[in-house]
Amino acid sequence: MRCHLLLLCCIATLCCSSNADQVTLHNGDRLTGTVLKFDGKELVINTDYAGQVTVKWAAIQALNSTTPLHLLMNDGRTLAGQVVTTQGGEWKVQQQNGEAVPVSKADVSLIRGQTEQAAYDEAQNPGWRQNWEGGANLGFALTRGNSASKNLSLGFNADRKTLHDKVTLYANSVYATNDLAGAIPSTTANAILGGARYDHDLDSRWFAFGGADFATDDLQNLDLRSVLGGGLGLHLINDPATTLDLRSGLNYTREVYAAFTRNFPAAILAEELTHKLGASTLLSQKLGFFPDLTSLGEYRGTFDFGTVTKISKWLGWQSSISDVYVTNPPLGKKKNDLILTTGLNISFTRPSEAGK
């Protein structure tokens, strides 16, 4: 009876091993499980008895997989198939077409298991509902007694980034009133700004962009400013902590004021900076200069600066400054409009399905 049980255990062990990937180290140790990935330095294998185990690539002598792996070679080739190490120590990739391609361990740049490859493929072409990040800002102030006023500020921003393009949506609104009896003006601020932009990388540094901006400002008698434009941009700095983009191009501007309407082409000269200050604070800054191409000396300038500091995963505190300067506003109106807001930021993230 004991012999039968021992035989069954041996068969079960062999079956489990035959259905698992196996990594053999130079010191003779063996790991069985599922190969997840190799990042160029370390191999990660998911084992039943110890969870995820990370092994230095230099310590590996042999690799045998029972499921297809996806290999990126140093010469740019991509191979997919079961990896087999012969008794002589030669590595081969058994492709689906039956061809066994010999490879050198030293020439392997990356390895992705089935799950990692599925996540990578989805990152190349994510659905429109995936990869969104952003937040909504809310600020409110109310006074009563010797003064009577209220102030409401709202903001929204969202970015969707992939490996090759980026969609940006944004909107800001400020409304303030002086509620004292007979106060003139009773409305002290009523401005709305918003827009969208699409960037598409042409290579690792250059990108093309197109976008639209809209604005209304009651106190400047601006019913609607519509700006449609596009051009070329340069990723001057592009790393996980800091990005700095320069943009130039052309736009078509239509301004509808209470007393008149004007249309004109303008140039686009702009820069945009984002920088992570530690683990919890994000700084963003934009500067734009838009000279009127039909009237020398006339232009519009914009400046935006903001910070968001995380309080929790979804809640933060934001502060922002927006300044819009117009050289030729309606008669009797000021050229400069400055907006300062601060308040709560509620963030959201819509990851890819593979990243869930």
Residue 27, token pair as written in the block = 């010191």
Identify the CATH number of the domain defined by range 132-355.
2.40.160.40
Percent residues over pLDDT 70 in the chain: 93
Task: Give the pLDDT of residue 352.
Answer: 53
Task: Give the pLDDT of residue 180.
Answer: 86
Question: What are the domain boundaries of the chain?
Answer: 20-124, 132-355
Residue position matching structure tokens 């914009």: 302
The string of pLDDT tens digits covering residues 254-270 is 999 999 999 999 999 99
Length of the chain: 356
pLDDT at 132 over 90: no
Mean pLDDT of all residues in 35-41 = 91
pLDDT at 239 over 90: no
The string of pLDDT tens digits covering residues 287-345 is 999 999 999 899 999 999 999 999 998 999 999 998 999 999 999 899 998 888 889 99
Average pLDDT of the chain?
Answer: 88
Task: Give the pLDDT of residue 162.
Answer: 84
Identity of the residue numbered 59: A
Residue 350 pLDDT grade (very low, low, confident, very high; cuts 50, 70, 90): low
The string of pLDDT tens digits covering residues 167-190 is 999 999 999 999 888 778 788 889
The string of pLDDT tens digits covering residues 280-295 is 999 999 999 999 999 9
The string of pLDDT tens digits covering residues 192-222 is 999 999 999 999 899 999 999 999 999 899 9
Topology agreement, domain 20-124 and domain 132-355 = no
Mean pLDDT of all residues in 115-139 = 82
Which fold is adopted by the domain 20-124? SH3 type barrels. (2.30.30)
First to last CA, the chain: 48
Task: Give the pLDDT of residue 147.
Answer: 83
Mean pLDDT of all residues in 265-282 = 94
Q: For residues 352 and 125, give the distance between their C-alpha atoms in angstroms, rounded to a whole number.
A: 10
Task: Give the pLDDT of residue 8.
Answer: 39
Task: Give the pLDDT of residue 277.
Answer: 92
Task: Give the pLDDT of residue 20.
Answer: 87
Task: Give the pLDDT of residue 119.
Answer: 79
Task: Give the pLDDT of residue 11.
Answer: 41
Identity of the residue numbered 280: S
Q: For residues 114 and 188, give the distance between their C-alpha atoms in angstroms, rounded to a whole number.
A: 60
Q: Judging by beta carbons within 10 Å of its beta carbon (0-12, 13-18, 19+), is residue 191 exposed, middle or buried?
A: buried
pLDDT at 17 over 80: no
Residues 121, 42 contacting (CB under 8 angstroms): no
